[in-house]
Structure 1
């Protein structure tokens, strides 16, 4: 499994951002190998972390080739003050007490 951590400092979102963002999320959900996402908001700042779960690098690469996704990456300065993407391979995951939240979100 692979995790893509999208760390962002939001700027101003307009109608075009929301349309593009919704299209990108729909594409992710339709991509074979997409396992889900979780979002966290920092209490002390406006920083947001979105963790996307992927079955394989091939699945992630397929999503990355999407034209809407490419367009959003080129236009990031219109909507974010800063961003960072980290791709991580999960070697092992374990724990207890989160119930259904212990697994990647569906």
Structure 2
């Protein structure tokens, strides 16, 4: 499994951002190998972390070819003050249960 951790400092969002963001999320959900996402908001700042879960690097790369996703990446300065993307392979996960609604795979 692969995780894409999208860390961002939000700027000003307009209607075009929301339309593009919705289209990108739909494209991710339509990509074979997409498992889900989780979002966290920092309690002491406006920073946001969004973690996307993917079955494989091939699935992630397939999503990366989406035209809306490419267009949004080119226009990030219009909507974010800063961003950082980390792609990592999960070697192992373990722990206790968080409950039925906690899994990004639900």
> Does the pair score TM above 0.5?
yes
1:14 alignment counterpart: 14
Q: How far is the alpha carbon of 1:101 from its aligned partner?
A: 5.1
After the TM superposition, list the runs of 4 or more consecutive aligned residues in structure 1 that deviate by more than 6 angstroms: none
Number of residue pairs the alignment of both structures matches: 106
Which ranges of structure 2 fall in alignment gaps of 5 or more residues?
Answer: none
Q: Deviations over 1:63-93 (max 9, x none)?
A: 0000000000000000000000000100000
Q: How does 1:1-106 map to 2 (within 5 A)?
A: 1-100=1-100, 103-106=103-106
**Alignment RMSD:** 1.1
Partners of 2:29 and 2:82 lie apart in 1 by 25
Q: Secondary structure at the match of 1:81?
A: strand
Q: Deviations over 1:8-58 (max 9, x none)?
A: 000000000000000000000000000000000001000000000000000
Which ranges of structure 1 fall in alignment gaps of 5 or more residues?
Answer: none
